Amino acid sequence: MYTVIKQFMPNEYLSSVFELNLEDLSERRIKGIITDLDNTLVEWDRPEATPELLDWMYFVKQQGFHVTIVSNNNKERVSSFSEPTGIQFIHSAKKPMGHAFRKACRKMGLKKNEVVVIGDQVLTDVYGGNRAGFYTVLVVPMSKSDGLWTKINRSLERLVLRRLKEKGLIQWEESK
């Protein structure tokens, strides 16, 4: 049972992608970032990147990192967001299935031990990344509201997080 529960535990927990320690990643020989889109990079209903995110993406690229957006959302949503930023993407990813994570690695020309997976959902991003053997980072969702399927996931996610906390496996506190 413990092994199953550990699949839902991120390696790191951050308030946002902007807190990602790129120097630490470089020291650990991480060269690529697979990131979710909605509620990880921008709010789920924001059509384009914010100036702050564009600056961050530019900085990440300047530091030598490859970035690929892997999203369960449809092609129209992901391409209309990603193409203006110049960030490659995979849409309709079917996370937590591992195929899209492995495809992103191939697109970046990297091995999974050289890549970190970042997202705001335990059941898709963290669980999928862990199952596929990646280092995972859970971030606080950028918006308090969600689409229908994400609302369902969030209710299940709260149960998983509560169980992890009860077992003393996570130390962070949710903000009220």
Interval 114-148: pLDDT, tens? 999 999 999 899 999 999 999 999 999 887 766 66
Residue 121: CATH number of its domain = 3.40.50.1000
The three-state secondary structure class of 4 is helix
Residue 135 maps to a domain: yes
Q: Other CB atoms closer than 10 Å to residue 156's CB: what's the count? A: 12
Half-sphere exposure of 54 (CA within 13 A, CB side): 9
Residue 176 located in a structural domain: no
Instruction: Provide the pLDDT for residue 152.
Output: 72
pLDDT of residue 142: 82
Lowest mean pLDDT among 37-41, 88-92, 155-159: 155-159
Q: φ, ψ for residue 38 (rounded to 5)?
A: -70, 125
Q: How far apart are CA 146 and CA 45, in angstroms?
A: 9
| Residue bearing the bigger pLDDT, 147 or 34 | 34
- Per-residue pLDDT, 166: 76
Asked if the model's pLDDT at residue 2 lies above 70, the reply is no
Structural domain contains residue 172:
no
Phi, psi of 74 (to 5 degrees): -80, 170
Per the DSSP assignment, residues forming a β-bridge with 137 are: 12, 118
The model carries a pTM of 0.84
Count of structural domains within the chain: 1
**Domain-located, residue 174:** no
Domain contains 126: yes
- Parent domain of 102: 1-167
